[in-house]
């Protein structure tokens, strides 16, 4: 009998993502006095593409987060605290993402940043992240700049572009016996990261 490894892998990813998000929320629940945490709520901030070419990615991440947080909230929240997702559209534009992130941290006073989509947008907020203790959790990017050197407040759950590329090249050369490969990349930080990998 043949096993569908893709669906079992997706199942493991879902369980892992839910476990990790739950862990972050539990940490927030015990963090009375932290930014974005009160007796009644935990504020989580999101900036990603809700419009533009990457809207499907950003909208999917936002929809999934809202579904999960609504489930938590309908069950009484996290130690009685409701999860409040504050989300802004950056259209996959680095400058907009940077402005949204500053607003989330300075005006909305969120506990953590979550569900960001993109390498260029994540690269744009690195200087902000280096000057805050706010958690940057689960960005949808495999960029090395978020991994090396290790940053105390950035938590990656996706494989790095280097790891993804290693797996792809191994499959092409070992399994398919190819010895010549061409690449077609996006002309931005995302494409450059993939090309470097």
Please give the pLDDT value at position 186: 84
Lowest-confidence segment of 3-12, 59-68, 163-172, 182-191 by average pLDDT:
3-12
- pTM for this predicted structure: 0.77
Phi, psi dihedrals of residue 91, rounded to the nearest 5°? 60, 20
Per-residue pLDDT tens for 16-38?
455 555 555 555 545 545 789 99
Contact between residue 54 and residue 117 where contact means Cβ atoms under 8 Å apart? yes
What percentage of the chain's residues is helix, strand, coil (to nearest 5)? 50, 15, 35
pLDDT above 50 for 192: yes
Q: Is residue 12 very low, low, confident or very high in pLDDT (cuts 50, 70, 90)?
A: very low
Please give the pLDDT value at position 197: 77
Please give the pLDDT value at position 134: 86
CA dist., res. 170 & res. 194, Å (int): 15
Q: Residue 34: exposed, middle, or buried by beta-carbon count in 10 A (0-12, 13-18, 19+)?
A: middle
Per-residue pLDDT tens for 114-152?
999 999 999 999 999 998 888 999 999 988 889 989 989
Q: In the chain, where are the structural domains located?
A: 5-158, 160-197
Helix (H) / strand (E) containing 137: strand 135-137
Query: Average of pLDDT values for 155-183?
Result: 88
Query: Average of pLDDT values for 165-176?
Result: 90
DSSP class of residue 117 equals B
Please give the pLDDT value at position 19: 53
Q: Is residue 165 very low, low, confident or very high in pLDDT (cuts 50, 70, 90)?
A: confident
Q: Specify the 3-state DSSP secondary structure of 45.
A: strand
Per-residue pLDDT tens for 59-111?
999 999 999 999 999 999 998 999 999 999 999 999 999 999 999 999 999 99
Choosing among 3.40.50.10320, 1.20.1050.10, 3.40.50.2300, 1.10.10.10, the CATH entry for 5-158 is 3.40.50.2300
pLDDT greater at residue 59 or residue 188 = 59
Q: Is residue 13 very low, low, confident or very high in pLDDT (cuts 50, 70, 90)?
A: very low
CA dist., res. 92 & res. 52, Å (int): 7
């Amino acid at each position: 009998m043949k096993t569908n490894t893709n669906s079992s892998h997706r199942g493991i990813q879902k369980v892992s993502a839910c476990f990790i998000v739950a862990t972050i929320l539990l940490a927030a629940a015990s963090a009375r006095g932290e930014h974005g945490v009160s007796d009644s709520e935990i504020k989580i901030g999101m900036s990603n593409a809700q419009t533009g070419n990457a809207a499907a990615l950003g909208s999917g991440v936002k929809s999934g987060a809202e579904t999960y947080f609504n489930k938590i909230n309908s069950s009484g929240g996290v130690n009685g605290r409701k999860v409040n997702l504050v989300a802004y559209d950056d259209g996959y534009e680095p400058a907009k993402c940077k402005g949204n992130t500053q607003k989330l941290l300075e005006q909305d006073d969120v506990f953590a940043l979550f569900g960001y989509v993109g390498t260029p947008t994540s690269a744009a907020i690195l200087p902000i992240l280096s000057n805050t203790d706010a958690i940057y959790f689960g960005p949808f990017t495999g960029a090395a700049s978020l991994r090396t050197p290790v940053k105390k407040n950035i938590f990656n759950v996706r494989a790095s572009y280097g790891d993804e590329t290693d797996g792809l090249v191994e499959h092409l050369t070992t399994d398919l016996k190819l010895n010549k490969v061409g690449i077609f990349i996006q002309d931005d930080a995302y494409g450059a990261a993939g090309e470097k990998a």
